[in-house]
Structure 1
Amino acid sequence: MSEDHLLREAQRAGKLPGLPQNHFIDGAWRASAGGGMMESFDPGSASPHASFAAGDADDVAIAVASARRAGEGAWKKILPRERGHVLSRTADLIRQHGERLAIAEVLDSGKTISEARGDVAGAARCFDYYAGAADKNEGKSFPLGEDYASFSINEPVGVTAHIIPWNYPLSTTARSVAPALAAGCTAVVKPAEQTPMTALILAELLHQAGLPDGVCNVVTGTGAAVGATLAAHPDISHITFTGSTATGINVMQAAARNVASVTLELGGKSPNVVLADADLDLALDNVVGAIFENAGQICSAGSRLVIERSIHAEFIERLVQRAKTLRMGHGLSERVNFGAINSAEHLAKVSSFLDGARARGLSIATGGRATVDPGTGKGWFFEPTVVDNAGWDDPVVQEEIFGPVLAVQVVDDFDEAIAAANCTPYALVAGIFTRDLSKAHRFARDVDAGQVYVNEYFAGDIETPFGGNRKSGIGREKGLIAVQSYCKVKSVTIRV
């Protein structure tokens, strides 16, 4: 079926035929040990579009055992360059099946087809990148003098757990599984219960690319039944988790009981600073994208606008006008550029923040209410929202809303902008728009964040390390540093 026909059929039927329903364990589809099933809902229509296996502790045990056998057997014997070939073939298969992956992502997550296609392209690029890293995971030599040969070896840590969020299911799976496989580890993936489909499809593509049975397993189900069990499993050596700070703390506590290492990419309340000397057209484009892409459901979203008072009124007026031009609707429509909120539960959470803001008398410049697809009257949507001139200690500034809600903080000068940027417990991303490179460098120095963007929000790519400080997490994903997360270092010293 052609890509155009595949999209038209999905638009007509509201579903995608042939989606997987079972776990992917030991190189094959496997029904849940308990026989349970769950529904996956299409946020754009607020209706189920597919069903999938509801896993439990037995499924986790089977998957981890499979991963352990594979890591001690077939995968261990494969040369690093051959691991790279598997990852490279996977990248090619992702591109070949790109439209199917993108449509499945839209139906599961609610994002637009354009956004989903971008995620697919990024996932393929991720596997390309780590394919090249597989045979370059080099150790070091240590200068102990002529009587010794001393060197280190990077060895895979073993079985790794990957607990995936619902906002970027394919992207987040790719960015953690690809470096783990490049390092020689095996993986058990637990996708979010709201968005299981692309992780399952990816596991099948990895198998088609030549990945041995058991190297990458996917177990679907709830966080309580599958995620918590996986995080606490004694044979898991490393856990990569992306999600809320509260759940990340639980994952870290579970890992500590087995002395497993963790990579945690958690919450964010990232500032996007616009100074009076900035290119305001450029800044406006980036502020809109930073908070309204994926309906604001991004850990690193620019969810706070910190702006100098002298340009505040004009900029907000233009920002509100832009927000009102966004075309909301079901993500499978190519006319749409603003998608749905992922679930009814999350929509209620976003709404509660704005209900509170109105009760406290905050100025809501635009938006602020739950709504529906204007074409069908269905779905879980929230209006693009700007809360103007919010107090620094207000919940809309301090707490992660994880929706299309921009909190505006007005400042009088550059030093106050830095203070505003640092005023929350999160430290994931910070952006600044200025023509003054001295101020840009000082901002990068003085703001606590895992990454700083200057004159382009969401700058960087798979090569750029990504992660947060403080309540935004521990460790880094992407870049070559991610491979090291899945390695244990062995030093060898020989007297000659």
Structure 2
Amino acid sequence: MNIKKQLIDGKWLYAQSEQTREIINPFNREVIAKVTESGKADAKLAIEAARKAFDDGIWPTLSTAERGAIVRKIADLIERDQEELATLESLDTGKTLEESLWDMEDIAGVFRYYADIADKNAGVMIDSPIQNSISRVVYEPVGVCAQITPWNYPLLQASWKLAPALVAGNTLIMKPSEITPLTTIKAFELMEEAGVPDGVANLVLGPGNTVGTELSENVLVDLVSFTGGLETGKKIMQAASKNVKKVALELGGKNPNIIFADADFDIAVDQAMNAVFFHAGQICSAGTRIIVEDSIHDEFVEALVKRVNKIKLGNGFDEGTEMGPLISEEHLHKVIQYVEKGIEEGAVVVTGAKQPNDESLKDGFFYLPTILTECTTEMSVVQNEGFGPVITIEKFATEEEAVTLANDSIYGLSGGVWTNDLAKAERCVSKMRMGTVWINDFNIYFPHAPWGGYKQSGFGRELGQTGLEEYQEQKHIFHNLQPEAINWFGK
């Protein structure tokens, strides 16, 4: 089996330590690839290459139209190779092939969106209090960007960082999750083919406690963008503070989905499942906290259980599979412990809460779709991000109580409201402390809408115009066209 390499300064290299890592298919534990295992020394080389490419290379000096053309070419190549990429993504993560193909369409769309807006942010003229002068604000690249991506949506999350960083004229070092690097490796091959110059986009493949730490601490790095867990995000903030580099963090959520009695019942039930069970609930925006009006609570739970029990688990490549496995044995144990803790605290299992006994699934990291009722905000399963196919259900009596429950969390990434009373919906969303709130929908996103969270879900935004601005510095330029002596000192 060939060992997949890291990319530093345009060269595909083995790690200096010569260590490797096996990449496992979570459906059957089969080794699907071996990759080189980067360390701190490799990260330093990549940072130095990115620094040189930014300070002395042509990429930042190209016009935005020229950079945009290359980024648009990346989108074309992703579309060309979408079936290969989707296959790699499903092998790597266990999600269904159909879901991975959807992702590839979205990923190409992200690159194309940023290619299209690259030259729309050239700067602005502002009023000057001084006659015969010009005052303007221009947008320039931040510099060297370290980008650390998670394992749940490897290439999708990478695209949210790569596309705006590149069109803005930055150079970068990306570290994908060490357990799901395959589509990111392929994407860097496509970026080479598209014409991204050597040293502009560098790829290191290693764990966060070594490679990630070096990327966060190194003084030559100007910005760190991280998507992942809360505790790791805190460590990155601490590391970055040593030299006050810019930081952008998306740290997940515990996302409420409020169901009012006047909502369209059947659609709300259906969408409550869609909000959670894609990729086995391993989604930062998953609507795992259902907060349902008490008058329909029992009916809603009954309907939800009936639908959930029909979800077909299996190989993501098999026709009819609706949900695949969790990402790893370690994560499976975390989800099991998460549910067990909730039960100890008083949550009631109405379905799931165990591994399946199907012989065809015995080698995979599967966990049954789970619903817990009688939940309250004091419980750990309501407060903590479980990152699995687990729904907790709370109930409320008034609109005010629903919003209070929804906001009772350290997170603030996303949420939903289901009601046919549009005035009530608008009142609720205006009070919900989250970066994205859906009305009569859930988990919809698109490239031109910003994405990010309130509170401990992080700060900064990806996607949209603000996603580009994360990778830009604003510079004010004042030009006096007729300078005159002031004669203040030493007349």
Alignment gaps of 5+ in structure 2: 482-491
Alpha-carbon distance in 2 for matches of 1:279, 1:493: 57
- Give the Cα separation in 2 of the matches to 1:480 and 1:351: 40
Task: Spell out, residue by residue over 1:288-333, the C-alpha distance to the aligned partner (whole angstroms, 9 max, x if none).
Answer: 0111111000111101000001111111111111111111012122
Cα deviation for residue 358 of structure 1 reads: 2.8
Counterpart-to-counterpart distance in 2, 1:337 and 1:28: 40
Partner of 2:485: none
* Alignment of structure 1 residues 189-204 onto 2, 5 Å: 189-204=174-189
The answer as to 2:409 corresponding to 1:424 is: yes
1:452-467 → structure 2 map (5 Å cutoff): 452-467=437-452
* 1:157-216 CA distance string (max 9 Å, x none): 101011000001000000111000011101100000110111111111011011111111
Amino acid at match of 1:36: Q
Kindly report which structure 2 residues correspond to 1:289-300, keeping only aligned pairs within 5 A, or say none: 289-300=274-285
Partner Cα distance (1:260, 1:373) in 2: 50
Deviations 1:14-47 (A, max 9, x none): xxx87x6110122231111111101111111123
- 8 Å contact kept, 2:60–2:141: no
Q: Distance in 1 between matches of 2:156 and 2:76?
A: 16
Per the alignment, residue 94 of structure 1 pairs with 78
- Displacement of 1:150: 0.3
Q: Which whole-Å CA distance do the structure 1 matches of 2:377 and 2:61 have between them?
A: 56
Farther-moved stretch of structure 1 (110-119 vs 182-191): 110-119
Task: Kindly state the Cα deviation for residue 232 of structure 1 after the two structures are TM-superposed.
Answer: 1.1
Question: 1: CA distance between counterparts of 2:311 and 2:359?
Answer: 12
Question: Which residue of the partner structure matches residue 66 of structure 2?
Answer: 82
Asked if the contact 1:270–1:302 (Cα under 8 Å) also holds between the matched residues in 2, the reply is: yes
What is the aligned partner in structure 2 of residue 135 from structure 1? 119
| Percent identical residues | 39
Question: Structure 2 vs 1, CA of residues 286 and 376 (structure 1 numbering), >3 Å: closer, same or farther?
Answer: closer
**Structure 2 residue corresponding to 1:336, chosen from 293, 314, 321:** 321
Which residue matches 2:163? 178
Which amino acid is the alignment partner of residue 53 of structure 2?
A
Matched, 1:62 2:38: no
Return the match for 2:87 from 81, 88, 103.
Answer: 103
Tell me the equivalent position of 1:310.
295
For the Cα contact (< 8 Å) 1:44–1:373, is it kept in 2?
no
- TM-score normalised by the chain length of structure 2: 0.95
Tell me: CA distance 1:473–1:481, structure 2 relative to 1, closer, same or farther (3 Å). same
Amino acid at match of 1:53: T
**Corresponding residue for residue 9 of structure 2:** 26
Q: Secondary structure at the match of 1:371?
A: coil
Equivalent in 127, 140, 149 of residue 164 of structure 1:
149
- Structure 1 residue 253 corresponds to structure 2 residue 243: no
1:373 Cα deviation after fit: 6.3
Q: Tell me which amino acid in the other structure corresponds to 1:43.
A: P
Q: How large is the RMSD of aligned CA atoms in angstroms?
A: 1.3
- Structure 2 residue aligned with 1:206: 191
Query: Does the Cα contact within 8 Å between 2:346 and 2:374 map onto a contact in 1?
Result: no
The 8 Å contact of residues 373 and 379 in structure 1, kept in 2 or not, is answered as no
Pair 1:375-2:360 in alignment: yes
Corresponding position of 2:486: none
1:255 offset after TM fit, Å? 1.1
Partner of 1:269: 254
3-state SS of 1:480 partner: helix
Work out the CA distance in 2 between the residues paired with 1:473 and 1:319: 32
**Contact persistence 1:167–1:297 (CA under 8 A):** yes
Runs (4+) of structure 1 exceeding 4 A deviation are none
- What's the secondary structure of 1:94's corresponding residue? helix
CA contact (8 A) 1:347 1:370 kept: no
Residues 279 and 434, structure 1, Cα contact 8 Å, conserved in 2: yes
Aligned to 2:136: 151
> Which residue in 2 is equivalent to 1:42?
25
- Report the TM-score, using the length of structure 1 for normalisation: 0.94
1:95 to partner: Cα distance: 0.9
Residues 438-471 of structure 1 show CA distances to partners (whole Å, capped at 9, x for unaligned) of 1111111111001110111012311110000111
C-alpha contact 2:14 2:36 (8 A) present in aligned 1: yes
How many residue pairs get matched?
A: 479
Question: Partners of 1:382 and 1:63 in 2: how far apart?
Answer: 39
- 1:488 alignment counterpart: 473
Whether the aligned pair in 2 keeps the contact of 1:341 and 1:381 (CA below 8 Å) is yes
Aligned position for 1:442 = 427
Question: C-alpha separation between the residues in 2 aligned to 1:142 and 1:358?
Answer: 60
Name the larger-Rg structure. Answer: 2
Equivalent pair of 2:27/2:361 in contact (CA under 8 Å): no
2:124 alignment partner, SS class = coil
Deviations 1:86-145 (A, max 9, x none): 011100100111111111111111111111111111110000001112212221211114
Please name the residue that 2:488 is paired with. Answer: none
**CA–CA separation in structure 1 for the residues paired with 2:409 and 2:47:** 38
Query: Is the deviation greater in 87-96 or in 457-466?
Result: 457-466
Which amino acid in structure 2 is aligned with residue 189 of structure 1? M
The answer (yes or no) to whether the contact 1:303–1:407 under 8 Å persists in 2 is yes
Runs of 5+ unmatched residues, structure 1: 1-16
